[in-house]
Structure 1
Amino acid sequence: MPSQRTLARLLTLHAWAGIVTGLLLFVVCFSGAVVVFKEEIDLWANPSLARLPHADAPVALDTVLAQLQARYPGATVETIALPDGVNPAYFAFLQEAGAPAAQRTKVALRADTGAVVGPVDSQLGQYLRMLHVFLFFGPRWIVGFLGVAMLVLIATGIVIHRKILAELFTQRWGRSLRVVLSDLHKSAGIWGLGFHILIAATGAWLGLAPLFEQGWAYVAGTAPAARAAAPGKARPAPAAMPSLDALQAAARQAVPGLQVAYVSLRQWGTAAAQVRFTGGLQDHLASTARVEFDAATGRVRARHDPRTAGFWSLANGLMEPLHFGDFGGLPLKWLYFFLGLTPAMLSLTGTLIWLDGRRQRAVRSGPALPAHPSP
């Protein structure tokens, strides 16, 4: 049983951790609750795409690439996203000739014929994801540290509110605003405790694991050396490219059960061309399987199967689906949405409780009224 002094210190830590990170936690948690419907939001924002037919057998990747090259001559096709259970279309990300280096155009294509529909008007779902993962323009480790802060808030809250079971159904609506907010704060924290731990831990991992990996690689001396671009270096010679569909079949042989979601192209059409197939695994939660080829030769450059790459790789592959809840269909998304709103509510109610406490302390410490009015 912690002493009163320890409890007071934990309460102070809990309060200040919540106040310092409260606004950012509210933004990240609220946007995270909404972003579970990223694909549905993008379709809602683009009604013409929602009306496209779903194809039981999507058209070949070679047809999609040929249609893009015919419609956008001179453009560089960088990524092709395959149709899935929500999105009825192929999507391609390309850099058009003469466009700024950082500008990409997202183009939709029919899944049944490969015909180009046109540029996607709105990417609202992607903007919400950028807000949740990067706070738009920040590095991802900032959101990772918010996950750590959330774990600190959870741990201190558990110790402070020791009588958890007794407070499960405590909600005193007829009391003061501070009491009502306090009961709401505790109830939301208790009922959503397991989910909050899951979201905080996976969010911290996703944000900070790459940072620790880079630091370890630097300390161990295994970080890849930066390659200086040689001035005036000639562009690789043109070369005949193999079938994307044949390479996709080879990728599925290299990693059995690979369900390709994205195809990434680099220097396509040249002797230095590379292609990478990325996606999930059939009957498995891991979402980081990939196979990379030298396109001109068809040689496998690298493959990654989380099932055989060791514990840490498997754990890393599980973090994103567990964090975003995109593996159980629409019912699980709704569950993640409602539970995901509770940490945002905790940030709001915790801030209001702290502000009300400061107001009450200011009133109590104010100047005492004189016993008798002065003449």
Structure 2
Amino acid sequence: MKSPSIPSSPTSRLISATPAQRKWWFALHSWVGLKLSLIMAFVCLTGTLAVIATELDWLAQPAMRVDPAAQRASWGDMVQAAQTARPGWTLQSVTAAHGSHFAARALMRTPQGEQRFVWIDPYRAIVTGDTSWFSLQRWLRNTHRHLFLPTRYGVPLVSALSIPLLVLVTTGLVVYKRWWRGFLAWPRRGKRRLMWGDTHRLLAVWSLWFSTLIALTGLWYLVESLGGHAPRLPAITTPDAPRAAAPFTAQTLDAAVARVRQEWPDLDIRVLRLDADGRAGQVEGQTQAWLVRDRANAIRLPLSDHAAARRSAAELGPHQRLSEMADPLHFGSFGPWPVRAIWFVFGAALTTLCLTGAYLYGLRIAGGSAALRAKSGHAGAPAAPARVAWTGMRPWRWGWVALLLMSQMLFIGEAMGWINLFG
């Protein structure tokens, strides 16, 4: 007696494609991967480095490096240290140290309107120096997010790459038969095409979850940039909100922070913001709500024993929570350094996939051309695979090169103060 057949799902029918269908999917995978390899590798590389951008700045800037001590300075002491060291500057915010060997960061504005980072030893409340707002982190983040183009055009352009990334993930699953067996398939030695093909597939299956996550969060950025952004976060300040009679001192600021901790003991304060006159402000940070940016949890600095206005991530709507989740998931910023290390490793794998895919195209075409020449009696060394891949990109290559060059020219102009695209 025959057992009843179970109808196949669209996904299973897609993955179990016929050889002719699989050939078509492979052609699509190769075409998209080759034509977009240059821009996608660049965006993936800058995103990967952006994950550890603060650590890279720490290596480059001595002012960011401190020696840990047993006790940390208070928020009031750090604010006072910054204002005392740079008396003519306006303090906008202070951000907690990124790690135990990192300085806390104060964002201040000079009388000329320039924004600078002032670094404060979070243990001793001593200013260790100041640096330009245009740091390596800023270059990586702005380049990765919108290629230093005006955000109105740059963000949709970059985030639209999520669509071909999804295409590459889907077509890769179709062409790689029984891909779930590839997690332990170590690259075979021998011919370059065989070894690099195995390496490409090994990286692809292990980074499948990461590629999908990056594609989906990138797709969300695209939706937001085209008008589908979430409603604004609830405001916690109004024009008639109470203000202190005089700017905060270290003592009054610490007293206000202490009242915040009494009102909201679960809040881990990460950022302190002061109004321009220094007579009011707010703190932001993390609570038990997962995968949100610090700004999702905010409370005004209490000026008395009365409850201060607050905003909690737990009270946000689904659309707002989804919007707040995108950045932590995209950059791995929701956890300590081991999480960022995982994001960095898989980001490097995704960057490598972009390059090895183009290289495999070059190997395949160069090998086929060499075989045809040998068959016709015109033996000779095969062409360099990288050169073949570069030629195969056709006009796309010059478009991407021009775009990337323009991006860095805009960065130089913005950094030198010749143009102002974002201020």
- Shorter-chain TM-score tier: 0.7 to 0.9
Per the alignment, residue 82 of structure 1 pairs with 96
Deviation at 1:190, TM superposition (A): 1.1
Whether the aligned pair in 2 keeps the contact of 1:255 and 1:303 (CA below 8 Å) is no
Q: What TM-score, normalized to structure 2?
A: 0.68
Q: What is the CA–CA distance in structure 1 between the aligned matches of 2:304 and 2:194, rounded to whole Å?
A: 70
Per-residue CA shift, 1:69-107, capped at 9, x if unaligned? 3332332222211224345422111121124xxx31111
Against the structure 1 CA distance between its residues 282 and 41, is the aligned structure 2 distance closer, same or farther, given a 3 Å change threshold?
Answer: farther
2:269 equivalent to 1:260: yes
Q: What is the CA–CA distance in structure 1 between the aligned matches of 2:25 and 2:310, rounded to whole Å?
A: 47
Q: What is the CA–CA distance in structure 2 between the aligned matches of 1:334 and 1:196, rounded to whole Å?
A: 16
After the TM superposition, which residues 96-111 of structure 1 pair with which residues of structure 2 at under 5 Å, given as runs? 96-99=110-113, 103-111=114-122
RMSD: 3.8
Per the alignment, residue 141 of structure 1 pairs with 156
Against the structure 1 CA distance between its residues 110 and 369, is the aligned structure 2 distance closer, same or farther, given a 3 Å change threshold?
Answer: closer
Against the structure 1 CA distance between its residues 325 and 305, is the aligned structure 2 distance closer, same or farther, given a 3 Å change threshold?
Answer: same
Q: What is the CA–CA distance in structure 1 between the aligned matches of 2:46 and 2:176, rounded to whole Å?
A: 28
Q: What is the CA–CA distance in structure 1 between the aligned matches of 2:165 and 2:177, rounded to whole Å?
A: 18
Deviation at 1:309, TM superposition (A): 1.3
Deviation at 1:369, TM superposition (A): 5.2
Q: What is the CA–CA distance in structure 2 between the aligned matches of 1:257 and 1:120, rounded to whole Å?
A: 33
2:336 equivalent to 1:336: no
After the TM superposition, which residues 86-235 of structure 1 pair with which residues of structure 2 at under 5 Å, given as runs? 86=100, 88-99=102-113, 103-120=114-131, 123-137=135-149, 139-168=154-183, 169=185, 171-175=187-191, 177-205=192-220, 207-212=221-226, 214-215=227-228
Per-residue CA shift, 1:292-340, capped at 9, x if unaligned? 6499999999743222213333333333223222344333333332222
User: How many residues align structurally?
Assistant: 345
User: Which runs of no fewer than 5 residues in structure 2 stay unpaired?
Assistant: 1-15, 233-242, 379-423
Q: What TM-score, normalized to structure 1?
A: 0.76
1:143 partner letter: V
Q: What is the CA–CA distance in structure 2 between the aligned matches of 1:297 and 1:209, rounded to whole Å?
A: 43
Against the structure 1 CA distance between its residues 97 and 298, is the aligned structure 2 distance closer, same or farther, given a 3 Å change threshold?
Answer: farther
Higher strand share goes to which structure?
Answer: 1
Against the structure 1 CA distance between its residues 87 and 281, is the aligned structure 2 distance closer, same or farther, given a 3 Å change threshold?
Answer: farther
Corresponding residue SS for 1:73: coil
The percent identity for this pair of structures is 26
2:316 equivalent to 1:304: no
Deviation at 1:11, TM superposition (A): 2.2
Whether the aligned pair in 2 keeps the contact of 1:147 and 1:204 (CA below 8 Å) is yes
Per-residue CA shift, 1:197-228, capped at 9, x if unaligned? 223323433x324324x3578xxxx89xxxxx
Per-residue CA shift, 1:264-285, capped at 9, x if unaligned? 334324xxx7634332224734
Corresponding residue SS for 2:160: helix
Whether the aligned pair in 1 keeps the contact of 2:41 and 2:355 (CA below 8 Å) is yes
Q: What is the CA–CA distance in structure 2 between the aligned matches of 1:96 and 1:324, rounded to whole Å?
A: 31
Deviation at 1:368, TM superposition (A): 9.0
User: Which runs of no fewer than 5 residues in structure 1 stay unpaired?
Assistant: 224-236
2:361 partner letter: W
Deviation at 1:164, TM superposition (A): 0.9
Q: What is the CA–CA distance in structure 1 between the aligned matches of 2:64 and 2:330, rounded to whole Å?
A: 27
1:9 partner letter: W
Corresponding residue SS for 1:307: helix
Deviation at 1:22, TM superposition (A): 1.4
Q: What is the CA–CA distance in structure 1 between the aligned matches of 2:263 and 2:145, rounded to whole Å?
A: 31
Deviation at 1:364, TM superposition (A): 7.0
Corresponding residue SS for 1:260: strand
After the TM superposition, which residues 26-45 of structure 1 pair with which residues of structure 2 at under 5 Å, given as runs? 26-45=41-60
Greater Cα shift, 297-306 or 133-142: 297-306
Corresponding residue SS for 2:313: coil
After the TM superposition, which residues 47-58 of structure 1 pair with which residues of structure 2 at under 5 Å, given as runs? 47-54=62-69, 56-58=71-73
Corresponding residue SS for 1:93: strand
Higher helix share goes to which structure?
Answer: 2
Corresponding residue SS for 1:118: strand
Whether the aligned pair in 1 keeps the contact of 2:68 and 2:100 (CA below 8 Å) is no
2:105 partner letter: F
Corresponding residue SS for 2:246: coil
Against the structure 1 CA distance between its residues 51 and 114, is the aligned structure 2 distance closer, same or farther, given a 3 Å change threshold?
Answer: closer
Match of 1:63 among 48, 67, 77: 77
